[in-house]
Structure 1
């Protein structure tokens, strides 16, 4: 049995996180026996040598796949965590705001122009990820922003790097 067929069987046999059922259960309303069900035979001496090799090979493949998935999950997590910023602002603090294209006033949007506005005052912390701000009157957009669009105002009027 090729690795592709084994991988397809394993995929169709695995329970989906969202639905709680495997594709086999959804389509056929039953979970077919898999090759690992051979391991429950009590007398291994009665098993054919190739069957034992197949089960051992399948176990090794499953262990390698499991180890690789754990390694990949750690890699994805570290990559995602490297882009996270832990910024906490208190009401009354001043911040710079990066406006996205859809939040810029039409007459002011310039592809090469600065998109930072501010300093603006933090009115309320909705949670650690969202803040309500006092925007200038000419900015006609919602006043709630994700923390990724905010940067600390340090007291001078230089515009921070937009990036």
Structure 2
């Protein structure tokens, strides 16, 4: 039988199959002995499914953290979903996952916060979901000098090489690929 039927004791009510709601009654269970046995098996299946669900829920609840921030707290902002708007110049692997820290200005609803963003991020909406934020614990090693990247009106930039650092030719089966390592410079296009 389907897991839904085993758990709830009735067929799933869907457009393809409509089942009567309510208790099923057997007129004379002694005439059909395997029916009672089937009901007992269904009870065992239900109990085991409930045990498995509660175990999985306890695992999920143990890992879940409900984050709350106060006004004035400092938080990091995850930049993974922001795509290429502020992530300029680095490859995907080397790109930091969080930027900041930023001050929390206001709590909006249960799960949204307004952040105090610098002028360089003025084109980005300043309200973020709590899942994009990470609490900042003050440490002098966290402060990194920001890279100055000039963006034009369409939020694009151009990479120009400054110096060739290394050259190498990679041999494949039937072709050769020239590899050049350069020190990049970023300017607005």
TM-score normalised per structure 1? 0.65
Runs of 4+ in 1 over 6 A off after TM superposition: none
Alpha-carbon separation, structure 2, partners of 1:10 and 1:152: 45
* Greater relative contact order structure (CA < 8 Å, 6+ sep): 1
What CA RMSD, in Å, does the superposition of the two structures yield over aligned residues? 3.4
CA contact (8 A) 1:85 1:148 kept: no
Unaligned runs of 5+ in 1: 1-5, 17-21
- Does structure 1 residue 10 correspond to structure 2 residue 5? yes
1:86 aligns with 2:66: yes
Summarize the Cα distance change of 1:85–1:128 in structure 2 as closer, same or farther, 3 Å threshold.
farther
Q: Which residue of 2 aligns with 1:3?
A: none
Q: Equivalent residue of 1:63, what SS?
A: helix
- Going from structure 1 to structure 2, the CA distance change for 1:104 and 1:152 (only over 3 Å counts) comes to farther
Query: CA 1:61–1:158 in 2, change beyond 3 Å: closer, same or farther?
Result: farther
Gaps of at least 5 residues in structure 2 are: 143-189
**Which structure is higher in strand share?**
2
1:1-163 paired onto structure 2 within 5 Å: 6-7=1-2, 10=5, 14=10, 22-23=13-14, 26-27=15-16, 31=20, 37-38=25-26, 40-41=27-28, 47-48=30-31, 51-52=32-33, 54-105=34-85, 108=88, 110-111=91-92, 112-139=94-121, 140-159=123-142
Show CA shifts across 1:128-149 (max 9, x none): 4221111222233332222222
In the superposition, relative to structure 1, how do residues 123 and 64 fare at CA in structure 2: closer, same or farther (>3 Å)? same
In structure 2, the residue corresponding to 1:117 is in which secondary structure? strand
Question: Which structure has greater helix proportion?
Answer: 1
